[in-house]
Structures are given as C-alpha cells and as structure tokens.
Amino acid sequence: MTWLTGDFPKVILAPMDGYTDPPFRRFIKRVAPRAIVFSEFLSARLVSQKPSLAKTLFRVYDDEKPVVIQLYGKDPAEFCQAAQLAEAEGAAGIDINMGCPAKKVVAHRHGSALMKEIELAEAIIRQTKAAVSVPVTVKTRLGWEDDRNLIPFALRLQNCGLDAITIHGRTYSQKFDGSADWRPIYALKDALSIPVFGNGDVVSVADAVEKLGNLDGVMIGRGAVSDPWLLQRACAAFAGESDAAKGSPAFAEKAAVWKTFATMAVEGGAKSEQHACQAFRKYLVRLHKELGLSREVRSRAIKVNALADIHHVLDLFAEEAALVAA
C-alpha cells in the first residue's frame, strides 16, 4: 500500500518553505493523524552533491508517517539520486515542485519554469519513476499566464508514469494575488485517470467541502499554519463524521500541544536555542492574529529568545483568549 491508496478524499498538508519541517509536520499529525504531510521543498542538487545531508534533510519520524518529500531542481539525474536517498530515509513518496513562482527559483529553471519546458519535465518524471519504488507526484499551477495548457501538460506527465498531481488554483503570473480558481482543476480531473488534488484558499472546513467537487482531496497550506486543527476537522467532514461541524477547540485546550510543538522545534533545531526561538516567532505572530489578542501580548511574542519565553507567551495567549471568549 502507498499513501495514494486507502480512503479518499484525502486532506494534505501543503509543502511550505520555512514551515513544513519535521517539528511542524509532527505537530500536524498529533492533531490530525489522518492527514498526509509534505515536506518543505528541498534542493535535489544540494543533496545529490552532498549525500550526507540526506539524513538531516530527509529525516522522517515514525509519528509523522507517511511523509512525502518534495524536491525542486532541473536535472533529472539529480532528482533520481535525491529521490533514492529520500526513499532510503523513509519517504512515502516523492513530489516534484513545478509550481513555485519565486523569481530566484524560476530564474534557475526550477519550480514554475518547468511548466514551460515540457520535455524536461517529462524527463524528470520518467527518470525519477524508474529510480524509486514509491509514488512520484507533481505540484504545479494552472499555467504560466492562463490555464489553456494545463490539461495537455498534465496528460503528458501522466503518460510518463506520474502517480498523482496537485494543482494550485493560480497561474505563475498571479503569484499569490487574487482568488484561486478551482474550475480548471475540476476539468483536469475529468481528463486524467490519476488522482488530482486541489490547493488554494482553503481556510475553513466549509471551503474544503465546497471546493472538493470531483477531486480526490484538498491540500491546505496557509490555513493550516493559522489553525492546525483545520486539517482534523476537514478529515472528519470528508468522512461524514458529526464532529466535523464543531469549531476549533478553545485555545486553553490547544496550549499544551502548542508547547509540545515549541519544544520539538527548539530542541530539534540545528542552531542555537535563541535562533530556534526567533524562528518560532512567526508561528506566535500568526496565532496572535488568529486569536485576536492585544498588542501587549504580541510585543511579548516577537521578543521570545528562549523556550521558557515561548511557553510563557502561550500561557498568556491562553489567559487572554479565555477572556476574549467570555
């Protein structure tokens, strides 16, 4: 069995640079054990040139499995080597990034640039498929400036043996502006025989249910950072469970899990405690905004430099959130 078997529709944590590292993935699996988690995008070239990095970059913990490792690059041979190393470290699948719109990524013919180089994209899929036994998938966008080539592009990848595809409902030109358009994704599903997942602007259970349509699942990114419990509620909704309609638990109930996540993130960091805590501030800022708390509490959150500081701020969040709810 692979992660592409079993129950459908699936709920998937999107690969997000700077976010979906092992601590965050393990956090997600604690609150949404049925969700599938993807790594942040990792350089095929870097790992192929320095194989010793694989044990760190591709590390998979038992409590987060199955994990799909996402790779970016442009050299089929580098993808093959990196994919083999990822599989050896326990990856349940390899996802090829053909959608990142960042200028520095596209300038090197990576990410979204592969949508304009179909022969290269085909070679990457064909050769990576031959190199590993786990599923090989792609995450991409509607197209460069419009969606007219989406179906022909995806059909050619499917013919190379692609196992599944995820489409972010924006073009390269849109970056993250405007609203995600899922209509071309539904049309793509009708044209393909492999699983198709949709991504873009899923920030509530209602969004997940409304946008699912004929697809095989939804991928959730920024909404999961603001509310990790969203993935669990989406899983429940797709399974037809009664608790799907429940809102997110009160923060007082979540605080202990957030503290566990903070401990994993700080103690598992490759650098100093202070550096790890500074990196964790982004989660506290998002959480503060989600909870609608005071500026005074936010000022504490953006100054944390030790794990004890983070735990104290989370206690303050819980106290103030209870007052807001009352």
**For the chain, what percent of residues have pLDDT higher than 90?**
93
**Residue 290, both tokens:** 């989600």
Report residue 139: phi and psi, to 5°: -115, 125
Report residue 219: phi and psi, to 5°: -110, 130
- Return the pLDDT at 117: 97
Q: Is the pLDDT of residue 170 over 70?
A: yes
Residue type, 270: A
Active site (annotated) includes residue 100: yes
Alpha-carbon dihedral 122, 125, 128, 134, rounded to 10 degrees: -160
- State the fold for domain 10-245: TIM Barrel (3.20.20)
Residue type, 289: K
Q: Which of 100, 160, 235, 277 is catalytic?
A: 100
Q: Under DSSP, is residue 196 helix (H, G, I), strand (E, B) or coil?
A: strand
Phi-psi region of 175 (alpha: psi -120 to 50; beta: other; left: phi over 0): left
**Residue 94, both tokens:** 């390899």
Residue 199 has a CB neighbour count (10 Å cut-off) of: 26
Cα of first residue to Cα of last residue in the chain, in angstroms, is: 48
pLDDT in tens, 269-283: 767 999 999 999 999
Average pLDDT, the chain: 95
Contacts of 104 (CB under 8 A, 6+ apart): none
Region 193-197 average pLDDT: 98
**Residue 301, both tokens:** 């959150």
Q: Is the pLDDT of residue 260 over 70?
A: yes
Q: Residues 219, 222, 225, 228: is their CA dihedral positive or negative?
A: negative
Of the candidates 94, 3, 60, 28, the one whose C-alpha atom is nearest the C-alpha of residue 234 is: 28
Region 146-168 average pLDDT: 98
Q: Is the pLDDT of residue 138 over 90?
A: yes
pLDDT in tens, 38-71: 999 999 999 999 999 999 999 999 999 999 999 9
Q: Is the pLDDT of residue 163 over 70?
A: yes
pLDDT in tens, 213-250: 999 999 999 999 989 999 999 999 999 997 766 667 78
pLDDT in tens, 3-31: 999 999 999 999 999 999 999 999 999 99
Q: Which residues pair with 220 in a beta bridge?
A: 13
**Residue 141, both tokens:** 């966008």
**Residue 325, both tokens:** 């709810």
DSSP character string of 45-94: HHHHH-GGGHHHHT---GGG-SEEEEEE-S-HHHHHHHHHHHHHTT-SEE
Q: Report the alpha-carbon distance of residue 259 to residue 263 in Å, rounded.
A: 6
Contacts of 10 (CB under 8 A, 6+ apart): 36, 197, 216, 217, 218, 238
Region 174-197 average pLDDT: 97
Q: Is the pLDDT of residue 206 over 90?
A: yes
- Return the pLDDT at 238: 97
- Return the pLDDT at 297: 95
Q: Is the peptide bond before 9 cis (omega within 30 degrees of 0)?
A: yes
Q: Is the pLDDT of residue 127 over 70?
A: yes
Q: Report the alpha-carbon distance of residue 86 to residue 191 in Å, rounded.
A: 31
Give yes or no for a contact between 195 and 5, defined as CB atoms under 8 angstroms apart.
Answer: no
Contacts of 217 (CB under 8 A, 6+ apart): 8, 9, 10, 11, 12, 195, 197, 198, 238
Contacts of 102 (CB under 8 A, 6+ apart): 111
Q: Report the alpha-carbon distance of residue 11 to residue 34 in Å, rounded.
A: 8
Categorize the per-residue pLDDT at 324 as very low, low, confident or very high, splitting at 50, 70 and 90: confident
Q: Is the pLDDT of residue 35 over 80?
A: yes
- Return the pLDDT at 270: 65
Region 69-89 average pLDDT: 98
Categorize the per-residue pLDDT at 210 as very low, low, confident or very high, splitting at 50, 70 and 90: very high
